[in-house]
Amino acid sequence: MSVLQAVVLLLVACGGAGVVLTREPSRQALVASLNGLLLTLMFVVFQAPDVALSELAVGTAAVPLMILLALSKTRIEARRTNHKDSQ
Amino acid sequence: MRPRQRAIVALLGGALLAGFLWWGALGLPSFGAYAGPYGDVVNAAAPADRQVQNVVTAINFDYRALDTLGEEYILFAAVAAAALLLRRVRTERQESDAASVSESEPNQPSEALHAWGLAMVACTLLFGVYMVVHAVTSPGGGFQGGCVLASAWVVVFLTGDTRLLHRVTNQNLVQLAEAVGAGAYAATGLAMVALGGVFLQDLLPNGSLGSPLAGGMMLVINAGVGLEVTAGFVLILLEFLHQTSETLEGR
């Protein structure tokens, strides 16, 4: 195993731990996006460019965006219910 | 159960799991070692056999094309199911809040952001099309190229706004593209049967090694997959945005 491979594996381990340790959902989406970028790097280092390209689009952009959209939807919904209750 | 007892159970379970994992890891082949002959055989045979440089594409869209057909329909079913779920809630909302929907002006993004977004969309689309078309010569293909193409729509949303996204996107066309792309895969397989082969047997001319037009059937399938993946992602994005933007306006 080369130094680069060892470093990138360590980075992915840190990134994964970071995602688990972030408790606030919208922040977690951003940390997960960063972790997706680290995974992309790992796939490149391990010579899997096909997988890296998919991971880049899906893991760092699409999935975090869906999480953020779903979160904003639930928050608006919650605010609306509170508003109705107080009327 | 008291916390102390719980800690003991967790510790025992964790130790057992760690032991088994360690035991399993000892039996793994050494780092980077490849035992099976299949990959070596395909690597040696595919370039001469099918005139392709990207052997991954040859495996996915020719030798094991039937597996990828199933994979594509998993994606298709997932997109259809997600769209169905999001859409039903949407009609409910429209019925209950039709009166309260107001014409609120969202924040207008700056012109610099628009210009930057336009440049990014152009580059992203070009790169995505390049990846779909060059499936047999370089890393990429329909799935990856489709993801990249769809992210152009994400860029439109991020640097413009929801209205701009709806103005440049016709949802009916997106749905049509999704269905046509998915159908193209099975249709290609059936076309090969009509040409006298078996389902998904590559009967189209393979061309010469190094040309983007090499690979025969793989190009046709990749174009279909690229269309399906792009449309699928865009459709999901549109459905999610319908959900959030309608509740925003109805606030």
ipTM: 0.81
Residue A50 in contact with partner chain B when CB distance is under 8 A: yes
- Which residues from A are below 8 Å from B148, CB to CB? 53, 57
> For residue B30, what is the DSSP state?
P
Residue B131 in contact with partner chain A when CB distance is under 8 A: yes
pLDDT band at B251 (very low <50, low <70, confident <90, very high): very low
pLDDT over threshold 90, residue B17: yes
- Indicate which of A73, A79, A81 best probes the interface with B, i.e. most B CBs within 10 Å of its own CB: A73
pLDDT band at B100 (very low <50, low <70, confident <90, very high): very low
What is the per-residue pLDDT for B241? Answer: 86
- Indicate which of B233, B244, B245, B248 best probes the interface with A, i.e. most A CBs within 10 Å of its own CB: B244
H or E element, residue B122: helix B111-133
CA pair distance B142, B72, nearest whole angstrom: 10
What is the per-residue pLDDT for A70? Answer: 87
A-B C-beta contacts closer than 8 Å: 55
pLDDT over threshold 50, residue A62: yes
What single string gives the DSSP state of each residue in B154-197?
HHHHHHS-HHHHHHH--HHHHHHHHHHHHHHHHHHHHHHHHTTS
Residue B82 in contact with partner chain A when CB distance is under 8 A: no
pLDDT over threshold 60, residue B250: no
What mean pLDDT value characterizes chain A?
A: 89
Is the pLDDT higher at A7 or at A76? A7
The token duo for B15 is 């130790």
Least confident of A23-37, B105-119, B157-171: B105-119
What is the per-residue pLDDT for B2? Answer: 85
Is the pLDDT higher at B50 or at B108? B50
Rg of chain A's alpha carbons, rounded to an integer?
17
Name the residue of chain A whose CA is nearest to B250's CA. Answer: A80
What is the per-residue pLDDT for A61? Answer: 83
Q: In Å, how far from its chain's centre is CA A47?
A: 22
Helices (H), chain B: 3-26, 38-50, 55-58, 65-97, 111-133, 142-159, 162-168, 171-194, 217-249
What is the per-residue pLDDT for A80? Answer: 79
CA pair distance B130, B113, nearest whole angstrom: 25
The pLDDT tens digits for A8-39 are 999 999 999 999 999 999 999 999 999 999 99
Model confidence pTM above 0.90: no
What mean pLDDT value characterizes chain B?
A: 86
